[in-house]
Structure formats: structure tokens, C-alpha cells
Amino acid sequence: EVQLLESGGGLAQPGGSLRLSCATSGFTFNTYRLSWVRQAPGKGLEWISTISSDGATAYYADSVKARFTISRDNSKNTLSLLVDFLRAEDTAVYYCARAESRWFGAHYYYYLDVWGKGTTVTVSS
Amino acid sequence: EIMLTQSPATLSLSPGERATLSCRASQSVRASDLAWYQQKPGQSPRLLIYGASSRATGIPDRFRGSGSGTDFTLTISRLEPEDFAVYYCQLYGSSPLFTFGPGTTVDLK
């Protein structure tokens, strides 16, 4: 069974930092892109970052670029997100998700087929 | 940047009724890049549909995705009690890599 389990959330002060982790099992980790998606209280889903299967390429939403850093350890099947320079608006549940791919019409497309249960980040003084 | 809008914001229906949810893109997109998710309160999202019309593993056939160009639809043929939830469409692109719509809440009439 494919499983993703986030950890590392908690209370942080504005300007502070946290490191979120996502432990995975049940699939060949180093063949999948992985993503972080967050959800502010009572709001919708917001994609924030994706990392390639080999860790060489990272993608970020403009809202977190230069503040958040995604990384992965393919030897430990673990995904991480360093969240830095935190702001009140970063308060959210942070989900890690696996990005499955399909080839169609001369291009790959991706969708998020398995999600973790999320870890909550609260930014407050 | 392509934006997604979903309508209606809330759909109030009874079990057994048909639900029709709309997702509209601000410009024409590849149907293959469109997915739908379901989220129940306190739970993480669950993939329902990918490639606009392919059901994910384990998704009942009462869920059907369709559409092309700028207009996409998720249809639930006969609502079951467990189908009352929030539904999001999502687009795979270049920048940003994933875009979610604002969601449609299907609630009990």
C-alpha cells in the first residue's frame, strides 16, 4: 500500500522557520515527482512546490519562491520542505502528494494520485 | 497564467439526485491536463478523475468527467451519502505547475 506521512508542523513565529518531512512507503520512490500542497483554514488547495524524481529540478509557486526549499532523499524515501521567513498567511495544513505521470499526445501530464494526511503549520507571535 | 473557475460554488442536492459540476479555464487547455479531486471535512483530497475523463483506481462509475477546450464537467450520476464533499478541479501546466480551482461544495439539501 502506498503511504505518505507528513511531520514537522507546529507553531512558529513570523520570520521563523520549520522543516516539514514526508515519509513514504509502498512505491519506487526515486521514479516519482513529489509535491507539496497547502490549505489555509477554511480555504481551497494551493500548490506550492514539486521536485523531480532525481531531485535535480524544483518548481515553486510565486507565493513561496525564495522562502521555501523542497528537497528529497532517495536513499531514505523522504521528501522535505524547509519553510523559511514565515508569514501569517503561511498558516495552513501542508500535504505531500505523489505526482503520477502519463504520456499523451507527445507530452507528459501529471496529477496527484496519493496524498498524505497533512501536517499543520501555524504562524503566530 | 491560466485561471480556473468552478461553478456553482455550492450545490444543494438530495441523495439519488444527479450532480453536475463545472470547471472553466481562462484559456483553452489540453484535456489531458485536467483532474478532479474530492475532499471531505478533516480529510486529505482524493483523486477522482485524471486526463479529464479517466477514473482513478477504486472510483465508482457514478463519477464521470468530460469536457474539452475551456469547459470541463464532473457529473455524479446518483449521489450517495458519502459523496457530499468539496470538489476541486486541477490543471497541470508550466507556471504554475499545478493550478486548483476554488472548489464546489456539494451539500445536503
Instruction: Note the pLDDT tens digit of each residue in B27-65.
Output: 999 999 999 999 999 999 999 999 999 999 999 999 999
- Residues of chain A numbered 39-68 and touching chain B (CB < 8 Å): 44-47, 50, 59, 61-62
Strand partners, A38: A46, A94
CB atoms A45 and B33 under 8 Å: no
Residue A98: pLDDT band with limits 50, 70, 90 = very high
Residue B94: pLDDT band with limits 50, 70, 90 = confident
Closest residue in B to A44 (Cα–Cα): B102
Phi, then psi, of B33 in degrees rounded to 5: -90, 5
| Best CA proximity match to B87, nearest among B49, B53, B57 | B49
User: What per-residue confidence (pLDDT) applies to A106?
Assistant: 87
Closest residue in B to A42 (Cα–Cα): B41
User: What per-residue confidence (pLDDT) applies to B41?
Assistant: 95
Task: Report cis status (omega within 30 of 0) of the bond before B96.
Answer: yes
Handedness of CA B40, B62, B106, B34 (dihedral sign): positive
Per CB-CB distance under 8 Å, the chain A contacts of B33 are 109
Q: Are B9 and B106 in contact (CB under 8 A)?
A: no
User: What per-residue confidence (pLDDT) applies to A53?
Assistant: 97
| Best CA proximity match to B37, nearest among B79, B80, B99 | B99
Percentage of chain A lying above the pLDDT 90 cut: 96
Is the pLDDT assigned to residue B96 strictly greater than 90? no
Is the pLDDT assigned to residue A105 strictly greater than 90? no
Looking at residue A91, its amino acid is: T
| Residue that is written with C-alpha cell 449521489 in the block | B79
Is the pLDDT assigned to residue A122 strictly greater than 90? yes
Residue A104: pLDDT band with limits 50, 70, 90 = confident
| Residue that is written with C-alpha cell 471535512 in the block | B41
Residue B80: pLDDT band with limits 50, 70, 90 = very high
Residue B11 to residue B21: CA distance in whole angstroms: 8
Angle at CA of residue A124, ends A14 and A39, nearest 5° = 95
User: What per-residue confidence (pLDDT) applies to B71?
Assistant: 98
Residue B95 to residue B50: CA distance in whole angstroms: 19
How far B98 CA sits from the closest chain A CA (Å)? 6
Per CB-CB distance under 8 Å, the chain B contacts of A115 are 44-47
Read off the DSSP letter of residue B54: E
Task: Report cis status (omega within 30 of 0) of the bond before B60.
Answer: no
Percentage of chain A lying above the pLDDT 70 cut: 100
For range A17-36, the mean pLDDT: 97
Is the pLDDT assigned to residue A22 strictly greater than 90? yes
Is the pLDDT assigned to residue B79 strictly greater than 90? yes
Give the largest CA-CA distance in chain B.
40
A110 touching B, CB under 8 A?
yes
Is the pLDDT assigned to residue B24 strictly greater than 90? yes
- Collapsing DSSP states into helix, strand and coil, what is residue A85? coil
Q: How far is CA A119 from CA A7, A19, A91, B64, B98, in A?
A: 6, 11, 11, 31, 20
